[in-house]
Structure 1
Amino acid sequence: MSPTDPAAAHPGPADALAEALRRLLGPLARLALARGVTHATLDELVKLALVDAADRQHAELPPHRRVSRISTATGIHRREVTRLVGALREGGARQPPPQRSLASELFAHWRTQRDYCDRRGSPAELPRQGPAPSFESLAQAITRDVHPRSLLDELQRLGLAAHDTGRDTVRLLREDFVPSGDSRRMLRALGNNVGDHLEAAVDNVLAEAPRHFEQAVFAGGLSRESVAELDRLLRARWSELVDALVPALEQLVARDAAAAQAADQQAASQGGPADPSIHPARQRVRLGLYALAQDESAPDAPEPPR
């Protein structure tokens, strides 16, 4: 077993980069083919991504110089760069701000709040209405802008919860928030989760010292039975980690929100803007865990260490 994914050899920087890009592009190509995305669409997306990254790196330059710099950095013709920059500006203006996933917040709250769990620590079956602990009180703890019935309908649509109409109770059907039968949401989760993981990994490669926590372990020569046993262990450990992290995250969010509110109130009372050191820029975090099990003969399987 190795603490990191093994490399088949020790190639030079250019060869290592090409191999890394090949490994990254392989799964994307498989997804594109499965969904009927052609080379022309992928080519446009790659060019947009290159121009967007170069545009951000040279944001301090005036527009005419920036186009030249982007063209030089990307190898894309100036006229094409101008078109792509315009498309990025237009698309960014129309892009709506990211919305909260109330369903996932409710799901996490239900799984981790002791008042809504049974003696074993599992999410309890709840009366749909009434005082806490009930589904109604749980939903209202997340938001009062959406009716609890609407949140229940959404959980049922995603295959995450069931409503016993006879007893008028609600129970969770899954231990993890992986909506079934919702391709749009699953693709959004793919982009968010893998995108942020890749952002962290690229930051670590480009920075002088690693900026983000990123670790993995690798093992080969396992039977299917051993992989199934490992899967059960991993899911149990992830459940324990979620149970510890979600309440801690909720406390940190509430603490920082209270501090920001206090800073705003202080500034309002003094008739000026809030002190930036008291009211800093907001940060976001995404914490995740993944596992892949595949035959060692699979085309994209990493070679064992030599």
Structure 2
Amino acid sequence: MDFAPDTPATAGSAPKADDTLLLRACQPVMAPLARLAVARGMQYAQFDELMRSAFVEAAREAHPDVPPHRAVSRVSAATGINRREVSRLIKAETPEAPKRAPATELFARWLTDPTLRHRGAPRPTLPRQGAAPSFESLAQSVTKDVHPRSLLEELCRLGLTKVDESSDSVVLLRETFVPAGDDKRLFGFLGANVGDHLSAAVANVLGQTPRHLEQAMFADGLSRESLERLRPIVREQWQTLVRAIVPMVRQFIEEDEAAARPQDQRLRIGMYAYAESMNPDDAPAEPTTPESIQPARSRRGIA
């Protein structure tokens, strides 16, 4: 079985604006964004504005020591965007970074905190109030800025928990968080997850160190039946990783805080799986039924 290696670093010469390899790499990255934009009615002019802003910001980061009075000229030369447009974009306000959601942090802690696990699984229910282990104590361990009742209402709204009035307890409904119908969170995850994944690959290509883990495996020649059998296995592997690493990361954060070390680094660890038909003319796959299962078109293996 072969796996794609970490994105190789480019050695030797500096990248060229008309680099064919770069253009080829950009096409599969841009195509899904274009599909999303068209599907949601976003006009090209809006997307173009985003790309211009991104180019200007990248050029400014590449030349941090340029005096302010020369910044517009340097950015214009690096991007090919005219000086007037560069000046306008530099003056534009930078969008505010998304804030952490304490409700989803609470949900993740419930799933991974060793003190909230029983026989290898998260406790399915917690007393709503009282000393640990309770939902109230869990909420207060995450944040004291938001009332536990507000966090509970948000988790119930997201379909992650429910309140059992008869026992005055909180019931865990799911062990994964996919915010169906919540566009704000869905698009937030899209930008953050894909953005960091792409940043890792770009940093590796540019030869930055330390290198980021950025690997994938690829297989074709599968049937829909095989994909349906693989999906729950992949999801379980992700849950195994989350259960193992989240408590460790939380411990490191607490140790850094106790040691008064600068806490100026962030980390995102992700995993994804994507499947589609090998025939570009095929319509999107319908839910698998015995009648709809088709044999594999070819058997090519794994790369």
TM-score if structure 1 supplies the norm length? Answer: 0.83
Structure 1 pair 114–61 and aligned structure 2 pair: CA distance change class (3 A):
closer
Residue deviations 1:117-141 (CA, integer Å, cap 9, x gap): 3324233211212222211121112
> Corresponding residue for 1:55?
60
Q: How far apart, in 2, do the equivalents of 1:165 and 1:288 lie?
A: 37
> Corresponding residue for 1:22?
27
CA contact (8 A) 1:106 1:138 kept: yes
For the pair 1:292 / 2:274, whether they are aligned, the reply is yes
For the pair 1:73 / 2:44, whether they are aligned, the reply is no
CA contact (8 A) 1:203 1:210 kept: no
Measured after TM superposition, the shift of residue 168 of structure 1 is 2.1
For the pair 1:115 / 2:115, whether they are aligned, the reply is yes
> Corresponding residue for 2:258?
258
Structure 1 pair 118–280 and aligned structure 2 pair: CA distance change class (3 A):
closer
Give the secondary structure class of the aligned counterpart of 1:44.
helix
Residue deviations 1:130-157 (CA, integer Å, cap 9, x gap): 2222111211121222111110001111
Q: How far apart, in 2, do the equivalents of 1:125 and 1:64 lie?
A: 61
Give the secondary structure class of the aligned counterpart of 2:171.
strand
Residue deviations 1:250-290 (CA, integer Å, cap 9, x gap): 10000001111xxxxxxxxxxxxxxxxxx446211001111
CA contact (8 A) 2:256 2:262 kept: no
> Corresponding residue for 2:144?
144
> Corresponding residue for 1:178?
178
CA contact (8 A) 2:257 2:263 kept: no
Mapping of 1:1-306 within 5 angstroms? 2-4=2-4, 14-87=19-92, 91-92=93-94, 95-96=95-96, 98-207=98-207, 211-260=211-260, 279-280=261-262, 282-298=264-280
- Which deviates more from structure 2 when the two are superposed, residues 181-190 or residues 120-129? 120-129
Q: Give the root-mean-square deviation of aligned CA atoms.
A: 2.2
Measured after TM superposition, the shift of residue 97 of structure 1 is 5.2
Give the secondary structure class of the aligned counterpart of 1:255.
helix
Measured after TM superposition, the shift of residue 84 of structure 1 is 1.0
Q: What code does the residue aligned with 2:140 have?
A: Q
Q: How far apart, in 2, do the equivalents of 1:104 and 1:133 lie?
A: 18
Q: How far apart, in 1, do the equivalents of 2:48 and 2:229 lie?
A: 42
Q: If each structure's helix is expressed as a fraction of its own residues, which one has the higher value?
A: 1
CA contact (8 A) 2:106 2:142 kept: yes
Q: What code does the residue aligned with 1:79 have?
A: R
Q: How far apart, in 1, do the equivalents of 2:27 and 2:225 lie?
A: 31
- Which deviates more from structure 2 when the two are superposed, residues 221-230 or residues 119-128? 119-128
Q: How far apart, in 1, do the equivalents of 2:64 and 2:120 lie?
A: 54
Q: How far apart, in 2, do the equivalents of 1:234 and 1:123 lie?
A: 23
Measured after TM superposition, the shift of residue 159 of structure 1 is 1.6
CA contact (8 A) 1:59 1:66 kept: no
Residue deviations 1:47-67 (CA, integer Å, cap 9, x gap): 111011101212211223221
CA contact (8 A) 2:114 2:247 kept: no
Stretches of structure 1 that go unaligned for 5 or more consecutive residues are 6-11, 261-278
Structure 1 pair 210–30 and aligned structure 2 pair: CA distance change class (3 A):
farther
Q: How many residues align?
A: 273
Give the secondary structure class of the aligned counterpart of 2:170.
strand
